[in-house]
Amino acid sequence: MKYENYTVNDIKEMLIAKDVKPSIQRIKILEYIVKNRNHPTVDMIYNAIKDEIPTLSRTTVYNTLKELVKRGILIELLIDENVVRYDMNISPHVHFKCKVCGKIYDYDMNCEIFDKKEIDGNRIEKYSVYLYGTCKECLKKGDEKDGY
């Protein structure tokens, strides 16, 4: 099953399978990521669910995300300078960021590098491939700006 179709029960089971206690906060945070697919930041998640969980803090969101990364449920994206974003697609893939609207898109591309476990005797543990440009929606609107 693709994670876009996950139910709350699926999320609970995933957390339990990774030895993470399925608290209300953890379930809601992961549910947000599953439903929105927007490569959110801590603040985006916090602002989206704080009304549902009045006792929620940014620190809880941050600590939960760090734990989910550590357990292999999420990956961190460092596509923005000084901003960490999170993605549930943990398989090697490429990210494209639009310099106009700021949206980040996932692309499954056949990158030869993803098949390698080492390069020149160096063990590969993580892949980060980021592409920058103008997305097709912004190009259609005629929105384009130079540089980053």
Going from N- to C-terminal start, the domains of the chain cover 3-74, 94-141
Determine whether domain 94-141 maps to CATH 3.40.50: no
User: Is a pLDDT exceeding 90 seen at residue 6?
Assistant: no
Closest to 144 (Cα-Cα) out of 110, 103, 98, 107: 98
pTM: 0.83
Question: Does 93 have pLDDT greater than 90?
Answer: no
Q: What is the CATH number of domain 3-74?
A: 1.10.10.10
What are the angstrom distances between the C-alpha of 29 and each of 33, 40, 68, 70, 73?
7, 10, 10, 15, 12
Q: Is the confidence at residue 16, as pLDDT, over 90?
A: yes
Q: Give 31-73 pLDDT, tens digit per residue.
A: 999 999 899 999 999 999 999 999 999 999 999 999 999 999 9
User: What value does the mean pLDDT take over residues 105-127?
Assistant: 85
pLDDT at 127 exceeding the cut of 70: yes
